[in-house]
A and B are shown apart, each in its own frame.
Chain A
Amino acid sequence: MDVNRMGVDIGDIVERKSTSLKDHSGSVMALDAYNIIYQFLSSIRQPDGTPLMDNEGNVTSHLSGVFYRTTSMLENGIKPIYVFDGKPSELKNRTIEERRRIKEKSRLELEAAIEEGDTERIRSLSARVNYITPAMVQEVKELLTYMGLPHVQAPSEGEAQASEMSARGLADGVISQDFDCLLFGARKLYRNFAFTGRRKLPGRSIYVNVIPEEIDLEATLARHQLTRDQLIDIGMMVGTDFNGGLKRVGPKSALALIKKYGSLEAVLAAKNVTIDNYELIRDLFRNPPYVEVKDLQFIPPDLDKLMDFLCEKHSFSAQRVQPYADSILKSSKSRTQSSLDSF
């Protein structure tokens, strides 16, 4: 199981198209908060690989990412709702434990690289050693509150809650890198929304241009004439956060197997293999733990508290933050502005 990748790797068979933030003005987007915070912690780094920090030595890469990127979404008329993870499913324990082990190994390698002064390796390893701490989560929630934005605390997986919100029409789509969202029923998945432009490939000195993309669940199912259950089965064959997948089976071969045999049970019987807990995992994708969402309010930002939190408490430059804060206020006012699409 590749535990470093996030979620199921079915990118090769989904129906996707390039898009941009401005194409989604007026849309409500549920954001997979942990997925996005993790991206910010990995990517927002100083030249030597260390994360951004305030004067007290506290990491602030997550706050920088959430503040600037969310403001950009607001400027484009998007209404973002961050959805935070709750208690992880027990089915995910093996993945979590494996990720923890790899991180610890990377941490030890990082210490050695620092001792040796190997700057390239320090930069590379630093991006792998990220921990989302409870304090960071609390700080992001506090920041969102000062920005006048609602957030949702999921009972379990954030991407499951966000996807269910999309399936129920409470959000137009889910912003996450994780294809699992499609298995959880997200009608639209938006990738590369939290981070666009040039991005360095992990562990390599190669940069790629990252363009936001929209993945459509219905169009994906229609293209392959699949049911959502069959897509879930394909996901389990490839491997998800909850299982390791079948050996030497990628998304295209999994699709071919489902087309040939019809269901995961038939595939497993034909190949004489098994996937641990596959019925429980399938049920988790079909009916994930979900908390009813109501009274989500987008209110005017509290600019005094926002400036105090970012600039006084976390050493952001007031000169740089102020125009963004003004922009958040402007976006808040324009939320009373309707769109011609509504008529």
Chain B
Amino acid sequence: MTRIVMPVKNLKEITDLLNTVTTEVKLKLTGKGMEVRAVDPAHVAMINIDAPKESFVEYGVDNEEELAVDVERLKNVIKVSRDSDQITITKEKDKLLFEIGTINKKISLLDGNTVSTPKIPQLSSESYVVLSRTDLERGLKAAEDVSDAIRLTLTKESFRARSMSETEESELSLPADLLKEVVCAGTVKSSYPLEYLIRFIKSITTAEEIKMSFKDDYPLIIDFRFGVNRDISGTFLLAPRMEQ
């Protein structure tokens, strides 16, 4: 039997994250924990979550299995909970039973054949910056009404996130002493779609710092840890905007 118990806040954060790119996912439960991979239909953004079994209050998974679920239905289940609640999830044939305090809810599992698990591209970049999530969120919010893209520039002295339109401009500029860590030889710069970044950053409320790796006209790789005990690791991949 498959039965797991976790802080509802963790499940909420996971569903919010997944919901930034997709509406249907497979939750893969293995002996080590839960893995989730999701990509948006245009293959612009991808989420990769690894929740080790230690991040669960209880983790009862006898056999490895994949649970295909509708993310919106999951969100609806969580709506009735409070942040301090724990949620118990039990697989019952083709349904999932959720127990949150005095409330029980069941949702149907989706046909696993109709939900594909994306292949993670092999990406790497030597240049990266580690910064506060709230600093980046402020910079993205400032850019939100300026343009639909943001240009990131990294040197060993600073990190900048700049957005421009014909009439307006917005820039977040963080010198090295305001960054947790920066590794960069020379200058790297690349542009990314702002909408995806904003949806992503708003969904990871418990992450304190994030590591952003990128290079010229290359996907952005954001590594972060989140969850009540920050013991869930996540990676967000975002394809670049190419200059015309």
Contact = CB atoms under 8 A, between A and B. Distances in A.
Contact of A333 (B45, B148, B219): B148
Contacts of B46: 340
Contacts of B244: 336
A292 interface: no
B41 A340 contact: no
B239 A339 contact: yes
Interface in A301-343: 333-334, 336-343
Contacts of A333: 148
Contact of B242 (A76, A336, A341): A336
A337 B239 contact: yes
A25 interface: yes
Closest 3 CB pairs of A and B: A339-B43, A22-B41, A25-B42
A239 interface: no
12 contacts: A25-B42, A77-B42, A334-B193, A336-B241, A336-B243, A339-B239, A340-B44, A340-B121, A340-B237, A340-B239, A341-B43, A343-B121
Given A339-B42, A343-B219, 19 more contacts: A25-B41, A26-B43, A334-B42, A334-B193, A337-B44, A337-B193, A337-B241, A337-B242, A338-B44, A338-B241, A338-B242, A339-B43, A340-B39, A340-B45, A340-B219, A340-B239, A342-B239, A343-B218, A343-B239
Nearest to A338: B239
B178 interface: no
Contacts of B123: 343
Nearest to B45: A340
B139 interface: no
Contacts of B227: none
A337 B243 CA distance: 9
B234 interface: no
Contacts of B43: 25-26, 339-341
Give the interface residue-count category, chain A. 10 to 19
Nearest to B118: A340
Interface of A: 22, 25-26, 76-77, 333-334, 336-343
Chain B CB within 10 Å, residue with most, of A26, A340, A341, A343: A340
A340 B196 CA distance: 14
A341 B44 CA distance: 8
Nearest to A77: B42
A298 to B, nearest CB: 10
A337 B41 CA distance: 13
Chain A CB within 10 Å, residue with most, of B42, B193, B242, B243: B42
A341 B241 contact: no
B77 to A, nearest CB: 26
Interface in B134-151: 148
A329 to B, nearest CB: 12
Contacts of A341: 43, 121
A159 B243 CA distance: 33
A341 B237 CA distance: 11
B213 to A, nearest CB: 13
B177 to A, nearest CB: 33
A274 B159 CA distance: 75
Nearest to A25: B42
Contacts of A76: 41-42
A76 B42 CA distance: 7
A338 B240 contact: yes
Contacts of B218: 343
Nearest to B39: A340
A305 to B, nearest CB: 21
Contacts of A22: 41-42
Contacts of B241: 336-338
A308 B176 CA distance: 54
A341 B39 CA distance: 11
A33 B39 CA distance: 32
Contacts of B237: 340
B221 to A, nearest CB: 11
B127 to A, nearest CB: 16
Contacts of B219: 340, 343
A334 B149 CA distance: 10
A244 to B, nearest CB: 42
B122 to A, nearest CB: 8
B165 to A, nearest CB: 12
B148 to A, nearest CB: 7
Contacts of A338: 44, 239-242
A337 B196 CA distance: 12
Chain A CB within 10 Å, residue with most, of B43, B45, B46, B218: B43
Contacts of A340: 39, 43-46, 121, 219, 237, 239
A337 B193 CA distance: 8
A331 to B, nearest CB: 10
Interface string B101-130: 000000000000000000001010000000
Interface in B200-244: 218-219, 237, 239-244
A339 B243 CA distance: 14
